[in-house]
């Protein structure tokens, strides 16, 4: 348990709300977005999921919608971003877009963990995936007029257009945001560990996805600075945890790996891949708070997971 984390939580009640939840991830950098997109793409390919989706949606894009922009540049026609807080700006997105276009045009290798510490999911090779993003596919996707249309959609006027290929909603909370079965791929990176209502969010994903289409989520179960050990967030009682969270709009939900799997199954998903990162250090079971001390051994050692799940055909 960290007194500093509790003190930090308590100060959130006395600072202006705009100072809270200012951590917006790593999507400022086009190379990070490119790396995340490519990692999801390679894993989707490995399980025979759709790697050339028409409509894509992202939960929690953070600083920019760059990972979704990578998906659009690679061929998708529509993108929907849903965050709890509006972080992105038009100039930021335009800068990321331009850098992404250069990366795709040069078939750049996938940036690795030497550049972005701990980036996940792991991949076998950082080579540009020419077997998925073939020259034929990219000749169409990177056509000048297509890229110009996408870029125009990122300007304030473009975003406001009624037929815009890009939509961004923050905050979002209702499952009525998109029509049923209208999305071909949903993804998130370092987000689902923050989402308070996991069950409702996976149910919304299930409603939005077209039959047979997949979602992919990289989830980090670690303590996110709330404790000195990776699993120390499970040592707080619920009442102390409320102090750690304070007035923040989100922190981490403390849900272990199995709860994500259960919520996905309850929403009707079939899990195609569940690529876990395990750790054996951290606090022992006896030092955790109830109910965490009763976690299954798998949950107790799962520090991260990349899960691909499919809506039934
Ligand atoms: C650690 S950042 C990750 C951002 C980005 N995906 C990345 O890879 O850098 C977590 C993101 O999750 C978002 N978030 C938290 N709770 C959310 C919710 N219930 N729905 C959608 N986004 C949420 C935050 O606003 C933030 O943008």
User: Which residue's alpha carbon is at the smallest distance from atom 13 of ligand 1?
Assistant: 60
Strands 166-169 and 183-189: unpaired
Q: Are 218 and 121 in contact (CB under 8 A)?
A: yes
How confident is the model over 203-223, as a mean pLDDT? Answer: 97
pLDDT, tens digit, 9 for 90 and up, residues 53-78: 999 999 999 999 999 999 999 999 99
Cα 154 from Cα 73, distance rounded (Å):
13
Q: What is the pLDDT of residues 67-119, one digit of tens each?
A: 999 999 999 999 999 999 998 888 999 999 999 999 999 999 999 999 999 99
63, 28 contact by CB (below 8 A) = yes
pLDDT class of 24 with cuts at 50, 70, 90: confident
Whole-number percent of the chain with pLDDT over 90: 83
* Token pair of 263 as six digits: 């919520």
In this structure, the residue with its CA closest to atom 24 of ligand 1 is 60
Local structure of residue 246 (DSSP, 8 states):
T
Res 175: pLDDT: 62
Where are the chain's structural domains? 3-310
189 CA → ligand 1 middle, Å: 8
Pick the CATH number of 3-310 from 3.40.50.150, 3.40.50.2300, 1.20.1250.20, 3.40.50.300: 3.40.50.150
What is the number of the ligand 1 atom nearest to the C-alpha of 25?
9
Please state the rounded mean pLDDT for residues 212-236. Answer: 97
**DSSP labels, 28-92:** TSHHHHHHHHHHHHHHHHHTT--SS-SEEEEE--TT-SHHHHHHHHTT-SEEEEE-SS----HHH
- Whether the CB-CB separation of 301 and 279 falls below 8 Å is answered with yes
The Cα–Cα gap between 93 and 56 comes to 17
């Amino acid at each position: 348990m960290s007194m500093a984390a509790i003190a930090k939580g308590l100060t959130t009640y006395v600072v202006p709300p705009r100072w809270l939840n200012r951590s917006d991830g790593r999507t400022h950098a086009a190379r990070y977005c490119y790396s995340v997109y490519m990692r999801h793409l390679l894993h989707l390919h490995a399980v025979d999921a759709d790697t050339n989706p028409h409509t894509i949606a992202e939960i929690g894009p953070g600083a920019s919608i760059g990972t979704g922009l990578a998906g659009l540049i690679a061929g998708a026609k529509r993108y929907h971003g849903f965050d709890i807080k509006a972080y992105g700006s038009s100039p930021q997105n335009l800068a990321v877009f331009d850098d992404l276009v250069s990366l795709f045009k040069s078939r750049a290798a996938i940036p690795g963990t030497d550049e972005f510490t701990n980036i996940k999911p792991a991949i076998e090779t950082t080579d540009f995936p020419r077997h998925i993003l073939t020259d034929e596919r990219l000749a169409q996707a990177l056509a000048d007029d297509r890229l110009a249309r996408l870029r125009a959609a990122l300007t304030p006027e473009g975003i406001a257009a009624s037929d815009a290929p890009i939509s961004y909603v923050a905050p979002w909370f209702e499952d009525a945001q998109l029509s049923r079965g209208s999305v071909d791929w949903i993804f998130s990176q370092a987000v689902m560990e923050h989402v308070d209502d996991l069950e409702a969010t996976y149910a919304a994903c299930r409603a939005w996805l077209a039959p047979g289409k997949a979602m992919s989520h990289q989830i980090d179960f670690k303590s996110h600075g709330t404790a000195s050990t990776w699993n120390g967030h499970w040592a707080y009682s619920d009442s102390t945890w409320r102090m750690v969270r304070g007035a923040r709009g989100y922190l981490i939900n403390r849900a272990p790996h199995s709860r994500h799997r259960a919520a996905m199954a309850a929403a009707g998903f079939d899990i195609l891949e569940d690529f876990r990162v395990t750790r054996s250090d951290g606090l022992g079971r006896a030092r955790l708070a109830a109910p965490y001390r009763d976690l299954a051994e798998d949950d107790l050692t799962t520090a991260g997971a990349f899960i691909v799940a499919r809506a039934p055909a």
